[in-house]
Chain A
């Protein structure tokens, strides 16, 4: 994308007024999406974005500028703008020029193709048909297929020069069903860090039927109970709860600002002994997977909580440098127009040894969550809220009535302590994580597990 000698000159310009660290992050992103909505194909979109973000770190301050102009002149102008903070601080002498490695990890020459539009149109048609044939009450179907290719190049003043190509494909189907209970919705998505080979594993029709079934089932749903009840999360249904309610609190930027319930608690018991929480950016083709993070560090597998004991946080380059340790490979950014920060990749609770069906059988009463929707957490207090999108009442150890969508509300650290059974099954789900206005793809996972008490906020009956 940019030759090494050019990058060296740009880094030299970035450090002209001094500073501890400078970096060029260049990105070339192509996207392609097709949406089949209400049986109409009116949203066929292609996108292309290219540019570079340049940052200069001086003490505790970061200067940042970005440009869509990848010519040497454009990059030098952005470097000068980013260096403004160093000039302002009257920091110090220019830093010596940087020698970049021979480019041993440069980008592959050939670009991986995106899913062809004709293929997308055909797959979406099949998904639409399958969803509608799931039941006559299904009145609306929206199916979308999006693929993206992101080629990135990172060069920094510590001599790093590395590139990566990241290809992602996502299929989603949402359905509306109409009945006596009004309109009910169902949603399902499959997303992987790979190209069209996603469909070697995922059957679009099966996925569509699942989305339709979620909407149909809720037509006969009753209002969720309210109050504190035992909750069983189905395997792969609710890893996002641990991402939100726990993972964010382990990000080193929140820790450094003492804005996390987990600050200063390394080595302490913070969860039930059944809990081992891992963040792993290397799991093959998961949604949060990449070879390197957006600061050029290799993705890694990081154990955060081991048998209930807090063992580590998540780190990006800047926080790791201040903590005098190495990055954990968790510096990510939405695009070249954004500064990197500490982000999760694929975050999951390791499976246990209980039988998933037995966990339900041994729950006299409670709520079984077959699918969690989105949620939100206040990392400072650990308070969270999550919506259920498919849930059932548990009575006498059996699943009985389907429940209307409701919220689970609670506190992250409390929920981790209240896990009293973890199954041997396991499942992941893709998600989009938002932090400070930036979105990145992440994976979440867990086995079937039981939380002894969570507040369920009922639907008004």
Chain B
């Protein structure tokens, strides 16, 4: 059934959009294919991955590396939209994306995504090093192939394993500016990785009918809402202390320790509420609150690290 939808969508769009041999998409449609909000998060976390190690490299090289990581992330988002155009057309949340909305043909999106993927990896290799370029190529492959083409439609653990792709940018960034992968970026990776399940499952609880209609096996649709709530709580119990790991490893200062403690308690309080409230409007409202707060939590953690290391606000907690 899914294949039939894909084929008919692809043929229809290719016929209507490329009949004259000229693309019909606007510049803003192509930009939307790059998932700008995800790109912003990638740039932000990658920048923090760079700043916390105080690299001894020219700012221009660091900027160019960051730009290529951003373009690589955008390219993987574009390939994701190309592959998922059939289910994006079904879901209310995604049906206005450029391909299902009929603004860009699938073939154009594929060409655009592949060009940017190859280009960003090559240029990152040239401006920084082969390790960083290889890690960026792996990130794009992991998101576009492992997550989008395989995990997303086959297992409720899709966003758990696929979350690795979203967590890799600090590692790529540290490799780009130092030539190796250190504990700092691995800890930042772990924080984003463990943060991903409660973040997405809170959204999945609210949008479960949307995912159900598209046939995506999200945790609430497969294991049920109650099991999802238990797992959200379990991951949040792991996340709250993990958020303090930068302090233990010495690159999170006093301000970070305070923010991570308060933020972790806030996440825990909301996860407990999500676990307790299971029926009706209050249950949906608290899940929505957890989703919103989780974005704020991650943003504030990384922004604090950025301020401590980039603006000189670092005050050590120990000694």
**Are A and B a genuine interacting pair, yes or no?**
no
> B residues touching A (Cβ–Cβ < 8 Å)?
none
> A residues touching B (Cβ–Cβ < 8 Å)?
none
